């Protein structure tokens, strides 16, 4: 931990006071529901560094009491099981019932392509933050239009990204295999080996391709500087850049129209597409979405390293949300 982080770290007494006096479990319940609350797994990172899983609570009041009494650094919520998870009835032994289809977007995953110069866990600027804002907007639209999901909630993850929760009934009971195939559809860069290779021939996924043109490519050009646009693979002339900027600012016609200068250049088209996808396409933490036993931070809980709350964010206003807009535990207690 850097000295900066030590200074910011929320003291246990303060977080306990927050959970006792201010924390409202209603936000959590609006996402995970009440009827199966007692069969949910909860997990906690404790002050001493120990991680406890397989905890369940009869009521949300019991959860609040637990948070107000114990030395907790971070708190998480997981899946619903057939019986309440406990130390003896661990989630490995009991039957899994459901969990929302979840998405984790984090600036960490963009470190290789953050051109702004920000690195590390706490750094971000308006340029790189727009990567996760765009990713949430793109995923939200894709999950609604290509998969028909309607109840999608976005939560600020407390530090450098967003969590998406698909609440639709059908989404909750998707198997790991089904989650895996949806994630495969959405994934264009599988970057375990850091190759940055784009893996899909987009001719076969037209809705996705058109959405990439309208959202991802548009955003790429809005953020690109002249130097980038003059270099490979774009090789735009000064006039083309002027035309592009004019069209972007006017913004009234579909962006694909302004995109003609690229589509006409057949020999460079794939390279241009690949470049745009590498730099601005959403990067999803696959494991969080696919592994049905994974846990996510409790909405409304505190990020211990900066005191900010994991708060719900309206997807329609996602581009206006920055980490410093999330309330802090100090503000909430003032």
Binding site for Zn ion (CB under 5 A): 116, 118, 125, 127-128
Report in angstroms how near the CB of residue 282 gets to Zn ion at its nearest.
Answer: 17
Residues in contact with 172: Cβ distance below 8 Å, sequence separation at least 6, in sequence order: 98, 99, 100, 101
Residue 314 near residue 133 (C-beta atoms within 8 A):
no
C-beta closer to Zn ion: residue 119 or 184: 119
Minimum CB separation from Zn ion for residue 49, in Å?
A: 30
Pair 51, 44: CB distance under 8 Å: yes
Q: Which residues contact 158 (CB under 8 A, 6 or more apart)?
A: 297, 301, 302, 303, 306, 308, 309, 310, 326
**DSSP-derived pairing of the beta strands 40-46 and 51-55:** antiparallel
Cβ distance to Zn ion smaller for residue 122 or 146: 122
- Measured from the CB atom, the residue of 118 and 332 that comes closer to Zn ion is 118
Query: Which DSSP letter does residue 11 get?
Result: P
Nearer to Zn ion, 49 or 117 (CB): 117
Q: What is the DSSP string of 68-134?
A: HHS-EEEEEEEEEESS---SSS-TTTSPEEE--EEEEEEGGGGGGG-TT---TTT---HHHHHHHHH
Cβ nearer to Zn ion, comparing 27 with 106: 106
Shortest CB 116 distance to Zn ion, Å? 3
Closest CA to 309 of 328, 323, 295, 331: 328
Q: Which run of H or of E encompasses 313?
A: strand 312-313
CA 239, CA 219: separation in Å to the nearest integer?
A: 20
CB of 272 to Zn ion, least distance (A): 23
State which residue, 111 or 331, has the beta carbon closest to Zn ion: 111
Smallest separation (angstroms) from Zn ion to the CB of 124: 5
Whether the bond between 326 and the residue before it is cis, its omega within 30 degrees of 0, is no
Q: From the CB of 269, what's the least distance to Zn ion, in Å? A: 29
Q: Minimum distance between the CB of residue 258 and Zn ion, rounded to whole angstroms?
A: 26
| Cβ distance to Zn ion smaller for residue 120 or 251 | 120
Q: How far apart are CA 32 and CA 38, in angstroms?
A: 11
């Amino acid at each position: 931990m850097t000295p900066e982080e030590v200074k910011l770290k929320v003291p246990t007494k303060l977080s306990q006071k927050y959970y006792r006096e201010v924390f409202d479990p209603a936000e959590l319940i609006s996402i995970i529901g009440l009827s199966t609350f007692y069969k949910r797994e909860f997990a906690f990172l404790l002050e001493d560094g120990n991680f406890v899983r397989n905890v369940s609570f009869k009521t949300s009041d019991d959860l609040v009491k637990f948070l107000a009494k114990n030395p907790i650094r971070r708190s998480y919520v997981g899946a619903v099981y057939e019986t309440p998870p406990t130390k003896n009835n661990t989630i490995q032994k009991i039957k899994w019932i459901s969990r929302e289809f979840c998405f984790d977007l984090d600036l960490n995953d963009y470190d290789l392509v953050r051109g702004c110069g920000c690195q590390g866990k706490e750094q971000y600027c308006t340029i790189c933050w727009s990567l996760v804002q765009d990713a949430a907007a793109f995923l939200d639209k894709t999950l609604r239009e290509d998969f028909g999901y309607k109840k999608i909630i976005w939560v600020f993850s407390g530090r450098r990204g967003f969590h998406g929760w698909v609440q639709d009934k059908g989404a909750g009971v998707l198997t790991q295999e089904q989650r895996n195939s949806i994630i495969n559809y959405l994934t264009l860069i599988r970057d375990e080996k850091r190759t940055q290779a784009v893996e899909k021939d987009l001719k076969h996924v037209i809705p996705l391709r058109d959405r990439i043109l309208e959202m991802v490519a548009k955003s790429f050009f809005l953020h690109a500087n002249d130097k980038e646009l003059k270099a490979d693979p774009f090789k735009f002339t000064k006039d083309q850049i002027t035309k592009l900027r004019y069209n972007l600012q006017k913004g009234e016609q579909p962006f694909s129209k302004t995109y003609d200068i690229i589509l006409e250049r057949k020999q460079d088209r794939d390279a241009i597409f690949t470049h745009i996808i590498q730099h601005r396409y959403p990067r999803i933490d696959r494991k969080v979405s696919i592994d049905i036993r994974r846990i996510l931070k409790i909405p409304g809980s505190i990020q211990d390293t900066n005191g900010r709350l994991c708060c719900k964010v309206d997807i329609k206003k996602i581009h206006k949300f920055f980490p410093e807009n999330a309330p802090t535990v100090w503000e909430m207690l003032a």
